[in-house]
Homo-oligomer: A and B are copies of this chain.
Amino acid sequence: MAQYAVKKLAEMAGVSVRTLHHYDRIGLLQPSVRTEVGYRLYGEKELLRLQQILFYKEMDFELKTIAELLDDPDFDMVKALLDHKKNLLQKKERIRTLLETLDKTIDHLKNKHTMNHEDLYKGLPKEQAQAWRKEAQERWPDQVKHSEEQLLKMSPEEFETLKANFSANGQQLVSMADKDPHSPEVQRLIADHYHFILQFWGKPGSPIEAYKGLGDLYASDERYTAANGTPNPAFGQFMQKAMHYFADNC
């Protein structure tokens, strides 16, 4: 009867010695024999079991689950596999979303476009984004209505691109909230912001005056209540200053 010591088995199975030690300790795979001096010796059964372990491990099962699975003959394989599939599908969907957002962010950074607060909170818990939208609709019903009309005219791709650009822009602005609102770097971002607003809100009439008015809204005490339940006067006032300066000097 062939017997293998740890290193041999490790090499055959393509795992580390440490892994075998670990599996031994947690009871997932124990050697068939211990020599007098304590060496682990594994036989054929252990070899096969290890192969099964590795199979399920590749399937991303947890070791604990694998142990149950291999030790309980009545284990409901199909159910476990279906559960596992569900998890994988969720992971996959999440990765898909992340990739989308990543692409947009990369595109923005490369093309130096614009960005939006709605998108700034994209990826955060949904409740926050929804709270934000609700608040925006309460505060600026006309603009939101018009904006929605505009958005509905866009193709999904245009819409996504626009959101991504606005999001990145807003993020940059947030990161520059401690700088001079009149500085060229801030004003460049504000220019992008303005062009975005033009497309996004699309309010007819005097765009520059509307933009200043929007700046005043930014300065409102409860500006950030929408997203997180708390006021944020500092950033609001920063935006107000930057937007007014832009409107007066563009």
Contacts and interface: CB of A to CB of B under 8 A. Distances in A.
Interface of A: 2, 4, 8, 11-14, 44-45, 47-48, 51-52, 54-55, 58-60, 77-78, 81-82, 84-85, 88-89, 91-92, 95-96, 98-99, 101-103, 105-106, 109-110, 120-121, 123-125, 127-128, 171, 174-175, 177-178, 227-235
Contacts of A82: 106
A138 to B, nearest CB: 19
A44 B235 contact: yes
Contacts of A92: 92, 95-96, 99
B59 A229 contact: no
Contact of A88 (B8, B99, B121): B99
B95 A91 contact: yes
Contact of A14 (B4, B44, B52, B124): B124
A228 B106 contact: no
A75 B227 CA distance: 27
20 contacts: A2-B231, A8-B230, A14-B124, A14-B128, A45-B178, A51-B121, A51-B227, A51-B228, A54-B124, A59-B102, A59-B123, A78-B110, A81-B102, A81-B106, A85-B99, A85-B103, A88-B102, A91-B91, A91-B95, A92-B92
A5 to B, nearest CB: 12
Contacts of A44: 232-235
Contacts of A4: 230
Q: Which of A4, A77, A103 has the most CB of B within 10 A?
A: A77
